[in-house]
Amino acid sequence: MAKNDFDISIVRPRMVVEDFKFRAQGMPEKKLKNIKKGLQTLHTLETMAVNIYKFQISKKATGHDLQLIVAMCNEMTHLQDFQVKLYEYGFQPSRLRCLYWLVGFGLGFFSRFMGERVVLKTGIWAEDKAVCHYRNLLKEVEWDDETRRIIEKNQADEFGHILRWQALLKRLK
């Protein structure tokens, strides 16, 4: 699925009660193991992404800060998507996610003090890593159709973040 197949201007897609269901029944153990690993990886990385943006936001009411708030909200949506999927499959988030929370804090907090250019470069770097993880997990894991669609939408959002940060970085030069 190409990144252009999604409307990335939608920050928080609509969900209804019928979207939720238990997903693990009748699946082979090996498939479930791969799904668990993939969902925990995505959930953990989105925890880091939320914190990067959260701690990059300053107290200034600037257009850049508004874009960081939008990106943080979108990453929070991704985090929720993967947390819901973990529970739908009967899994729990990784216990190591607190380490990624700290990494996100560090990257966000320190990049903010190094200036807008470093904030944008940090965002581009983090989103590029996310796109690679999404691509690999889409290729390596046999997802159900609904979960695959969510992962593809979230990957498209990450592409959108890269394009936004690159455009803002060009304006700074």
The CATH number for 42's domain is 1.20.1260.10
Looking at the domain assignment, is residue 168 inside a domain? yes
Average confidence score pLDDT of the chain? 95
Looking at the domain assignment, is residue 22 inside a domain? no
How do residues 24-56 score in pLDDT, each as one tens digit?
999 999 999 999 999 999 999 999 999 999 999
Query: Which residue range(s) make up the domain with 165?
Result: 27-172
Q: In b/e form, how buried is each residue of 75-113, taking b as 16+ CB within 10 angstroms?
A: bbbbbebbbbbbebbebebbeebeebeebbeebbeebbe
How do residues 101-150 score in pLDDT, each as one tens digit?
999 999 999 999 999 999 999 999 999 999 999 999 999 999 999 999 99
* Whole-number pLDDT of residue 2: 46
Tally of domains within the chain: 1
Residue found under tokens 């959930």: 43
Residue found under tokens 């990067």: 52
Looking at the domain assignment, is residue 18 inside a domain? no
